[in-house]
Structure 1
Amino acid sequence: MHIAFVTAGGAGMFCGSCMQDNALARALMQLGCEVSLIPTYTPIRLDQEDVSDQHVFLGGINLYLDNLIPFWRYLPRPLVSWLDHPRILKWASSRGVGNDASTLGPMTVAMLNGARGPMRREYQDLVDHLLDRLKPDVIVFSNALLSGIMPLLRERFSGPILCLLQGDDLFLNQLPGKYRDRAIAAIGENSRSFAAFITHTRFYADLMSQFLNLDRDRFRQIPLSINARFTDPPDSSRGAESSLPRIGYFARIAPEKGLHNLILAARELYAEGISFELHAGGYLGEAHQDYFERIQKDAEFLGDRFRYVGSPDHEDAKFEFLRQLTVFSVPASYEEPKGLYILEAMAAGVPVVQPSRGSFPELIESTQGGLLYPADDPKAHAAMLKRLIQPGEERDRIVSKAARNVRELHSSTQAARCLMDACEELCVRLSTRESLAG
């Protein structure tokens, strides 16, 4: 089976969805499946081995100019294709050309209009590549915002097309009101041609079926997963560098990820006279520099016991950081659809404390790898951290269960098998339907 997996670059950011897509593609290849991982908008940025195609389709610069300059969309493809070169797109991303939804309303709606809109040339280029060169059995899109291609694609491709939903609502809800409503309506129309939708949790399937007005029966679930080589039992040397317990955070530095909430809980612990260090890591973009400066000011009560370690460029360095922690928490202030970072912490032998919202309750239920507290309650947050910050039977039990359950239930290999099963089922169903029709 040949699967064409169309992913979306994060405009220069380390992107959890990109990493999940890349890890899935790599695991599918290891299971003997032929996979083409195709980046769109910008190159994907990863801290792991990149298995994606080096050619970027639907390049962000050309999409922008198509929508901005009326004549641009009519120029021959050879005259504009140089703007899709990965180096050009990386340069544009570094200059602040990003993916802030609040400024992308008109462009988002134009993209979702597909062949009827100004980006037809870009969509046609991707369709030709998929069908004339790759000739896949199944196509998987990593988000519903790519659904503008569906009418043009369905003119020539009758095989199964799946859509992996991983946070589309977050982007759509940030669009200005009139564009949000038009974008949701366009996605609903385009999505009629998808054979199935894939999510990582029941929570997100329920949310998106209502959000996009889709039949819940069309949803399949595959586990959120991490690189299988990091699911080996952790060693006992973790935390040897410091005699103090170490609370850790590793996610994008942005308000929605909730580092400020962790500072509030840390203040509660500090007021009780508990000694600890707080180490934070993750991608920090230019747009959130002011937010991080406020974080640093709010954490002054910790002195040099609060440290920001940046964003390691390789997953080995990230896991080394995680293995030095005592307890881990990313207290997101929104309904997180994934939560890849808590699986990584559990695999590194670190118990987690998370708010009871979004995907977190399901992941904690599946892994038994941590504790939940009522969202936006700093005192309850601090109380759960306190339970796990010191050695004890509860902590040992959680760490043991988490390592085993992540290894057995949330490896990339397990997720790839589930995705392959869904693809094979849809191919058989389509073949049976065609036979009966014939």
Structure 2
Amino acid sequence: MRITYLTAGAAGMFCGSCMNDNAVARELINAGHDCVLMPVYTPIRTDVEDMSVDRVFLGGVNVYLSQKLGAFRLLPRWMTGWLDHPLLVKALTSKAGKTSPELLGQLTLSMLDGLAGRQRKEFEDLLSFLQTNVRPETILLTNLLIGGVIPQMATNADVWVMLQGDDIFLDSLSESDRREVIAKMRGLVGHVKGFLCHCSTYAHFMQELFAIPPQKMHVVPLGVATRDFIESQGEASSREKKTASEQPKIHLGYLARMAPEKGLHRLVDAFIELKRNPRWESLRLELAGWMGPQHAKYWKEQQNKLSRAGLDGQWNYAGTLDRNQKVRYLKSLDLFCVPTEYADPKGIFLLEAVAAGLPYVMPDHGAFPEVHQRLGRFRSQGFSGALFQHDSAKDLVTELELALEQSPHRSEASSELLEELEISTHAKRLLAVLQGKSNS
């Protein structure tokens, strides 16, 4: 099967959507399919081998300049194409500041206009590459926001769209722009073969938001790479090698972007509250994840809170981790928690924590309740986890304390659980939908 997968880069930061896109593309290629992963806006960043082509389409620099400068739009492609070089795009966008909602709204509207918008040259280049170089049977888009030329794509291929966070972006727009953007996105639905979501709750929400016919919506449970977790089974972390005289530490861990939307401040506050109880003297807070420059002040505020609580030396920030470091980090923890403020439609970090054998406490919104239910049948095999009321700081502390009272510790995930979580299982389910062999 010839599949082209368009994935949106995230300006140099780790992004769950592009990491999932990359992992799926790798599995499809390994299964013998002709899958081409094409990054748009910026190069993608992953913690494993990058499967994307060494080229950026709808490059962020060209897209921005085409939006802002009328004269730039008159330049021929041979004069502007060099601005799409991956290294240049990466360098110019990695330090970019926050875009104003007004510009963001107008840019989004223009992109959704496709060939009728200000980025006509960029879209023509994309369509030319698709029609001349890859000629796919199926085109899979990582979101609907990049779908301005779906009508043109659909003349030669089946177009599918993964919905995994479009609504979060829409909420950053002004109300008037948001309404207009949604109207344009709804206008593309008729040209799309089908839509894919990772959980039914989110699928129902997006179905209503974009007026998607029920028969076009499909739910494919998410998966993650578990092979390296299997390969490292039986390894003891340095923290597990304690002498008999040492009091065992309990490591409460977080692995996500160091950002407000991921709920880092919520976990810091809960940790401070728990440490007021002498019973949890041995509790440590372990933090890891990418932190952008826009969140430096936010991170400093969290550090100051911990210092004022007298908890210096009882927490650690491990920074941005590569794949091997991530596996070792997760296997050094005893309990996992990422108390997101938003309803995360994926929850990749939770699946990785479960693959590492970690018990968890997660919010009861987004994909987490369905993941929790989906994995419930493995509880007899040592799997454990709990949900807390997502808008209640008190309930977060309560559920963490209940988990701590059960002496949480990491255990090896069963082969059946790992198979359910495995990215190859997800890719097979996705492929079955694309080939019309699934009723999901």
For 2:388, which of 348, 368, 373 is the aligned residue?
A: 373
CA distance in 1, matches of 2:16, 2:113: 27
- 1:319 equivalent in alignment to 2:334: no
1:230 offset after TM fit, Å?
3.4
Distance 1:241 1:215, change over 3 A: farther
Give SS of 1:292's match: helix
CA distance in 1, matches of 2:116, 2:204: 31
Map of 1:230 onto structure 2: 228
User: Structure 2 regions of 5+ residues with no counterpart?
Assistant: 243-247, 377-383
Map of 2:57 onto structure 1: 57
**How do 1:133-148 residues align onto structure 2 when only pairs under 5 Å count?**
133-148=133-148
1:384 offset after TM fit, Å?
2.2
1:237 offset after TM fit, Å?
2.0
Bigger drift between 227-236 and 238-247 goes to 227-236
Runs of 4+ aligned structure 1 residues displaced above 6 Å come to: none
CA distance in 1, matches of 2:241, 2:179: 52
Matched-pair contact (CA < 8 Å) for 1:280–1:309? yes
Matched-pair contact (CA < 8 Å) for 1:144–1:168? yes
CA distance in 2, matches of 1:89, 1:97: 14
**How do 1:309-388 residues align onto structure 2 when only pairs under 5 Å count?**
309-312=318-321, 314-368=322-376, 369-388=384-403
For 2:419, which of 399, 408, 412 is the aligned residue?
A: 408
CA distance in 2, matches of 1:103, 1:371: 41
- 1:205 equivalent in alignment to 2:242: no
**How do 1:28-107 residues align onto structure 2 when only pairs under 5 Å count?**
28-96=28-96, 103-107=103-107
User: Structure 1 regions of 5+ residues with no counterpart?
Assistant: 428-438
Map of 1:298 onto structure 2: 305
Matched-pair contact (CA < 8 Å) for 2:229–2:327? no
CA distance in 2, matches of 1:241, 1:290: 36
Q: What CA deviation, in whole Å up to 9, does each residue of 1:95-138 have, x standing for no partner?
A: 32567767511111111111111111111111111121101111
Quick one: which amino acid aligns to residue 182 of structure 1? E
Distance 1:213 1:84, change over 3 A: same
CA distance in 2, matches of 1:240, 1:100: 48
CA distance in 1, matches of 2:152, 2:72: 20
Bigger drift between 244-253 and 380-389 goes to 380-389
Give SS of 2:6's match: strand
Map of 2:186 onto structure 1: 188
CA distance in 2, matches of 1:184, 1:426: 31
Matched-pair contact (CA < 8 Å) for 1:55–1:85? yes
Give SS of 1:146's match: coil
Distance 1:99 1:220, change over 3 A: farther
Q: What CA deviation, in whole Å up to 9, does each residue of 1:224-265 have, x standing for no partner?
A: 111131352843624416731000001011111001111122
* TM-score, length-scaled by structure 2: 0.91
Map of 1:15 onto structure 2: 15
Matched-pair contact (CA < 8 Å) for 1:231–1:403? no
Q: What CA deviation, in whole Å up to 9, does each residue of 1:37-84 have, x standing for no partner?
A: 000000001111111101100000000011111121221111000000
1:306 offset after TM fit, Å?
1.5
1:2 offset after TM fit, Å?
1.0
Matched-pair contact (CA < 8 Å) for 1:38–1:57? yes
Give SS of 2:146's match: helix
Map of 2:296 onto structure 1: 289
Quick one: which amino acid aligns to residue 402 of structure 2? R
Quick one: which amino acid aligns to residue 282 of structure 1? G
- 1:254 equivalent in alignment to 2:259: yes
Distance 1:351 1:287, change over 3 A: same
Bigger drift between 15-24 and 268-277 goes to 268-277
Distance 1:283 1:406, change over 3 A: farther
Greater fraction of residues in helix: 1
CA distance in 1, matches of 2:101, 2:53: 26
Matched-pair contact (CA < 8 Å) for 1:262–1:331? yes
Map of 1:114 onto structure 2: 114
Matched-pair contact (CA < 8 Å) for 1:140–1:164? yes
Q: What is the CA RMSD across the aligned residues, in angstroms?
A: 2.0
Quick one: which amino acid aligns to residue 128 of structure 2? D
CA distance in 1, matches of 2:54, 2:99: 21
Matched-pair contact (CA < 8 Å) for 1:246–1:277? yes
CA distance in 1, matches of 2:52, 2:125: 18
Map of 1:308 onto structure 2: 317
CA distance in 1, matches of 2:371, 2:137: 32
CA distance in 2, matches of 1:265, 1:128: 53
* TM-score, length-scaled by structure 1: 0.91
Matched-pair contact (CA < 8 Å) for 2:143–2:162? yes
CA distance in 2, matches of 1:56, 1:121: 14
CA distance in 2, matches of 1:101, 1:342: 31
CA distance in 1, matches of 2:94, 2:207: 36
Distance 1:406 1:208, change over 3 A: farther
Give SS of 1:147's match: coil
Matched length: 420
CA distance in 2, matches of 1:390, 1:229: 31
CA distance in 1, matches of 2:292, 2:182: 28
